């Protein structure tokens, strides 16, 4: 089962850039909750903390694809180093503004500039695509591994940020994110031998990755997947609180991530079959089906089992989506294309947070699970309706690669 996982690291430098990529991606999961924890610890209200954090997340979703577009044009090292320097400086400015009670608008400005954080997940996957371009099976395994690492990052990162800011000093969480980002990016950029070459930009896409046939549909799909994923987190916390065990919400969400991670490991070890668009259709419908039982949970033990099963479709869905993006997008636009997918996912998570919070307040914790179920069903329906177009686009791209 682990044979392909060993093989993906056989090219020189692959283990080092993957490890550096892991370090540099941790801050993405730390910065948002770190800002909320920091501002609340310094006496700010949660409305301010949440809106400043949302500003940073929205800025990252908007600016990230532009940074990645520059990466495709000029190379990873030339772009990520200055982008990271700007991001680290902005985070430090945010910490100082928060510590010394600067005007509120300065918090929003600093948070927005911190949105220049490069999409390291996209850069890592672009390197895997370059290394294993001739071996779809190994690329499938590499993408599966990265999806599992994403799950680890989003479990470890928030815990680390919250612990540092609550047990140490208020700014410790965001400060640690800035340090990890700087160190991780420096280590990543130092791995020159695995950096993808800069390729001429294709004229058929008009210079913009979103004009690649099928990509907007994938961004929309991942936005809905993100809404489902994000709303599960909010509703699970509310459900645990309603059953007088809010402290167990972290454990429940860990079970959800464990289901995704284990499924991702197994999925990466098997040989994929069938056309990629059809595989995506199956995975999102499985997600829709496995989310439905959450509506009928009556206690925490039952919910834990349901969350484990519901999580099992997340990592495979992300893996298949990245494979499809790699097929649709020219190599000269791969980083930007992957970043649009990640941005769509992030926006969806934020929308899921907001929608589920509103439903929980209006109808109760159990009713909140209607949001992830509805979002998953919409994602599955979107892929079903878009399947002919995705199939045609993938066939054209595959033919062009021959």
pLDDT of residue 201: 65
Task: Express each pLDDT in 72-86 by its tens digit.
Answer: 999 999 999 999 999
What share of the chain in percent tops pLDDT 70?
95
Are 83 and 74 contacting, i.e. CB atoms less than 8 angstroms apart?
no
Confidence check: pLDDT of 231 > 80 = yes
CA 365, CA 371: separation in Å to the nearest integer?
11
CA 74, CA 332: separation in Å to the nearest integer?
10
Mean pLDDT estimate for the chain? 88
pLDDT of residue 74: 92
pLDDT of residue 205: 45
Looking at 75-114, list the stretches that DSSP marks H as alpha helix, in order from N- to C-terminal side. 76-99, 104-113
Looking at the structure, give the CATH architecture of the domain made up of residues 8-198.
Up-down Bundle (1.20)
Are 263 and 312 contacting, i.e. CB atoms less than 8 angstroms apart?
yes
Tokens 């919070």 sit on residue: 357
Task: Express each pLDDT in 240-269 by its tens digit.
Answer: 888 888 677 778 888 888 999 899 989 888
Q: Tell me where in the chain the CATH 1.20.1250.20 domain(s) lie.
A: 8-198, 204-402
* Four-way CATH pick for 204-402: 1.10.340.30, 2.40.128.110, 3.40.50.620, 1.20.1250.20: 1.20.1250.20
Mean pLDDT throughout 350-362? Answer: 83
Orientation of helix 314-328 relative to helix 120-131, angle to 10°: 60
Confidence check: pLDDT of 93 > 90 = yes
Task: At 36, list the tokens.
Answer: 């909320």
Confidence check: pLDDT of 321 > 90 = yes
pLDDT of residue 402: 56
Mean pLDDT throughout 173-193? Answer: 94
Between 300 and 29, the higher pLDDT residue: 300
CA 233, CA 249: separation in Å to the nearest integer?
9
Are 372 and 231 contacting, i.e. CB atoms less than 8 angstroms apart?
yes
Mean pLDDT throughout 56-85? Answer: 92
Does the pTM surpass 0.85? The reply is yes
Orientation of helix 334-363 relative to helix 314-328, angle to 10°: 150
């Amino acid at each position: 089962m682990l044979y392909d996982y060993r093989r993906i690291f056989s090219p020189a430098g692959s283990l080092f850039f993957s490890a550096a990529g892991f370090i540099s991606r941790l801050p993405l999961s730390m910065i948002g909750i770190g800002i909320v924890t920091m501002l609340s610890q310094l006496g700010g209200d949660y409305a301010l903390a949440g809106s400043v954090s949302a500003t940073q997340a929205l800025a990252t979703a908007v600016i990230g694809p532009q940074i990645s577009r520059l990466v495709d044009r000029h190379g990873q090292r030339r772009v990520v180093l200055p982008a990271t320097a700007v991001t680290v400086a902005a985070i430090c400015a945010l910490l100082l503004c928060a510590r010394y009670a600067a005007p509120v608008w300065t918090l929003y400005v600093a948070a927005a500039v911190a949105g220049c954080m490069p999409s390291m997940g996209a850069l890592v996957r672009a390197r895997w695509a370059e290394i294993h371009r001739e071996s779809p099976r190994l690329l499938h395994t590499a993408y599966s591994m990265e999806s599992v690492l994403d799950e680890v990052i989003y479990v470890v990162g928030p815990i680390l940020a919250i612990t540092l800011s609550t047990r140490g000093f208020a700014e410790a969480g965001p400060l640690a994110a800035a340090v990890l980002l700087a160190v991780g990016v420096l280590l990543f950029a130092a791995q020159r031998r695995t950096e993808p070459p800069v390729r001429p930009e294709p004229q058929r896409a008009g210079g913009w990755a979103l004009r690649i046939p099928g990509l907007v549909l994938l961004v929309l799909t991942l936005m809905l997947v993100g809404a489902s994923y994000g709303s599960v987190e909010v509703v699970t916390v509310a459900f645990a609180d309603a059953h007088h065990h809010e402290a167990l919400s972290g454990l429940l969400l860990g079970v959800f991530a464990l289901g995704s991670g284990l499924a991702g490991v197994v999925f990466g070890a098997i040989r994929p079959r069938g056309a990629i668009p059809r595989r995506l259709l199956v995975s999102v419908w499985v997600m829709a089906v496995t989310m439905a039982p959450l509506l009928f949970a009556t206690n925490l033990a039952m919910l834990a089992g349901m969350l484990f099963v519901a999580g099992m479709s997340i990592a495979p869905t992300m893996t298949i989506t990245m494979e499809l993006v790699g097929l649709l997008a020219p190599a000269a636009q791969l980083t930007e294309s992957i970043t649009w997918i990640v941005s769509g996912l992030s926006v969806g998570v934020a929308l899921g947070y907001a929608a589920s919070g509103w439903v929980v307040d209006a109808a109760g914790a159990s009713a909140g699970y209607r949001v992830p179920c509805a979002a998953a069903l919409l994602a599955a329906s979107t892929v079903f309706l878009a399947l002919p177009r995705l199939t045609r686009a993938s066939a054209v791209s595959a033919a062009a690669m021959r």
